[in-house]
Amino acid sequence: MSSAVSLYLDPQIRDWVLFPITLVMILVGILRHYIMILLQSPPKKLPREALREQRALTRSQVLRSTAANSPIPPTYYKSISRHLSDAYEAGTYLKDGPPREGDAPKPPPNPMTDPAAMDGMMAGMKTQMVMMVPQMVIMGWINFFFQGFVLIKLPFPLTLGFKSMLQRGIETTDMDVRWVSSLSWYFLNFFGLNGLYRLILGGDNSADSSRDMTASPFGAPAAAGAQDFGKLFKAEISNLEFSEGVYSWVGEGVEERVLRRYGKIPAV
Amino acid sequence: MSLSMSLEKLATFRTNNTRASQETFKNASLILKTAKQLGDDGWAVLEQLFLASVDIGRLEVADQCLKQLAERFPDSPRVDVLTGIRMEATESPDVALKYYTQQLNADPANGAIWKRKISVLRRSGKIEKAAEELTQLLDTFYTDVDGWLELADIYTTCNQYILALQALSHVLLLAPQNPFYVLQFAETAYTANDLPLALKTFLVVVDMCERDIDSPKHKPAVGISVRAWLGIKLCSRRLMINSTPSASNTPIPKSLNLIEELATERVLEVYSSQGTAARRGQAAEGKDVVVGWIGAR
């Protein structure tokens, strides 16, 4: 590296390229945040039966979580436990009521025909669009007008490994790595502005587009929609049986514990 | 009082769920006009002020709050609940009931509206219907501790103690760390004449409350453990006279005599100690009665 500065940048580049790119990206991020707020549909209302089905498993989970030291006496525990496993067996909590004799097992719902799943997917697509379109436009803008521009010189030396990161779009082998090209400056902003957005818009903003690059619009609803509660309930029955095995009442031997604390009977 | 101090106080009321309506009203009415400028916190204060002013009968203030809230959140289910509460304040229960039913038809899974409806049902004397609806609500929202407590209360007022115990057992499952619920369970069991179960549960209360005291022997019981010790004393005394069979098949503890002795000691110690710092020097209130009762066995 020579001690003499090998390259002079026109201050016009700073004023008319570097700052505008940064400013445009920040503004687009903020705009995106507000568009997302506008696009957000209110949380979907579940019918009562669906809610009940979704929460039915909590009952046995609550019961099981304290089974080893349960606050309720044996008769009560047993009756709740029996009642739950009977209900799970019979499918009382299922959204469509208990299955009738001779019903063919339902195929898993197809996300393309289920309107509920379709809604979720549309929401995902909308987010994706709001993210993709402005970024594509900005990238095209930079590529078209500022292709091959060198915008800024980093004030610290870097190894050659950063060349592909900092000088994208400039095909030179011997330029100092500290020079940053326009396209690279775009990518640095793209991934690095999240901290600034958090400062301006608060913690849970939706301005940062690098985050949902990875999220697929089809991923989330497919995973949530495919739950087969009938199967989950059947599996829970054996869990309940297991907990009944480890069950003990907290009142078991409580009189001895108390008496021992007060020295009425000798401590062990 | 400065604005920030009032706000802080109101926030504490909100988090602790304190129903200090008069004080809330005093603090919050200062900021009624400026609530809009306070941002998100302001709306919560408005809701709080609304409930407080309905509580103390300042309906004109309540109306102002409701108007502002309804303007800001036109379709909010929370504001719908508030509208219902305002209706309950002046209209007949039937009108409020009709409103709630209508809201529930629009969104059957709205728990808050459903609970208001149940409370109106109960208040207007349709206990049976209230219990039925509440059971349905709890079937959907199992984890609602307050709902279970209310159901237990309804059953208790109807002398259905076994059913109340069943409701309370769900409360215990959901909040096993709260000794007050255990105490309620014990007292309900006592009322249901299931003495062994009551005795055991009273002992659990004592076990829970005095677990962290290093040498419990030398300190008089405080708080709810006094009540629990009195319960133990009652149960063990009655069990020693005649052992009633337990509905829940709870065995009677073998060391009944020792328990009775200990309970007597503990109860007497509470009442013979020189009281709290505030009334040092004079015997605890009601001492004669308790000593007389214990001596009279």
Which residue matches tokens 């609304």?
Answer: B50
Kindly state the tokens that stand for B284.
């605890």
Q: For residues B56 and A267, which has the higher predicted lDDT (pLDDT)?
A: B56
Residue A267: is its pLDDT beyond 50? Answer: yes
- Beta bridge partners of residue A179, listed in sequence order: A153
- Give pLDDT, residue B38: 73
Contact flag A251-B248 (C-beta cutoff 8 Å): no
Task: For residue range A214-235, list pLDDT tens digits in order.
Answer: 555 454 444 444 567 888 888 8
Alpha-carbon distance A76 to B6, whole Å? 47
Alpha-carbon distance B114 to A189, whole Å? 50
Within 38-57 of A, beta carbons closer than 8 Å to B belong to 42, 45-48, 51-52, 55-56
Alpha-carbon distance B260 to B240, whole Å? 9
- Give pLDDT, residue B161: 93
Confidence of residue A110 (pLDDT cuts 50, 70, 90): low
Of B142, B89, B93, B136, residue with least CA distance to B114:
B136
A213 in the Ramachandran plot: left (φ > 0), alpha (ψ -120 to 50) or beta? alpha
Residue A44: is its pLDDT beyond 90? Answer: no
Give B108's contacts in chain A (Cβ within 8 Å).
47-48
pLDDT tens track of chain B, all 297 residues? 577 888 888 888 888 888 888 888 888 877 777 766 777 778 888 888 899 999 999 899 899 889 988 988 888 888 999 999 999 999 899 999 999 999 999 888 888 999 999 999 999 989 999 999 999 999 989 999 999 999 999 999 999 999 999 999 999 999 999 999 999 999 999 999 889 999 999 999 998 888 877 777 777 777 888 899 999 999 988 888 887 777 777 888 888 888 888 888 888 888 776 555 445 555 567 777 888 787 755
Residue A107: is its pLDDT beyond 60? Answer: no
- Give pLDDT, residue A134: 86
Contact flag B142-A262 (C-beta cutoff 8 Å): no
Kindly state the tokens that stand for A30.
């903020």
Kindly state the tokens that stand for A184.
């690279």
Please give, rounded to a whole number of angstroms, the shortest distance from the CA of A18 to a CA of chain B. 36
For range A52-81, the mean pLDDT? 90
Alpha-carbon distance B271 to B45, whole Å? 45
Residue A104: is its pLDDT beyond 70? Answer: no
- Give pLDDT, residue A223: 44
Nearest-by-Cβ selection for B172 from A45, A46, A72: A72
- Give pLDDT, residue A200: 85
Q: In this complex, is the C-beta atom of A260 within 8 Å of any C-beta atom belonging to chain B?
A: no
Alpha-carbon distance B112 to B90, whole Å? 20
- Give pLDDT, residue B153: 95
**Mean pLDDT across chain A, nearest whole number?**
81
Cα angle A177-A180-A182, degrees, rounded to a multiple of 5: 150
**CB-based burial of residue B70 (10 Å sphere; 0-12 exposed, 13-18 middle, 19+ buried)?**
middle
- Give pLDDT, residue A3: 45
Which residue matches tokens 């599996």?
Answer: A235
Please give, rounded to a whole number of angstroms, the shortest distance from the CA of B248 to a CA of chain A. 6
Q: In this complex, is the C-beta atom of B180 within 8 Å of any C-beta atom belonging to chain A?
A: no
| For testing contact with chain A, the best of B75, B138, B142, B215 (most A CBs within 10 A) | B142
The Cβ-side half-sphere exposure at B282, using a 13 Å CA radius, reads 4
Q: In this structure, what DSSP letter does residue A57 have?
A: H
- Kindly list the domain boundaries of chain B, sorted by start residue: 194-297
Question: Cβ neighbours of residue B265 under 8 Å, at least 6 residues apart?
Answer: none
- Give pLDDT, residue A33: 86
- Give pLDDT, residue A1: 46
Contact flag A259-B262 (C-beta cutoff 8 Å): yes
- Kindly list the domain boundaries of chain A, sorted by start residue: 11-43+112-222, 48-94+228-261
Contact flag B207-A265 (C-beta cutoff 8 Å): no
Chain mean position to CA A215 = 9
| Percentage with pLDDT > 90 across chain A | 17
- Give pLDDT, residue B82: 93
| For testing contact with chain B, the best of A88, A254, A257 (most B CBs within 10 A) | A254
Task: For residue range A8-43, list pLDDT tens digits in order.
Answer: 888 888 899 899 999 999 999 888 888 888 887 777
Q: In this complex, is the C-beta atom of B120 within 8 Å of any C-beta atom belonging to chain A?
A: no
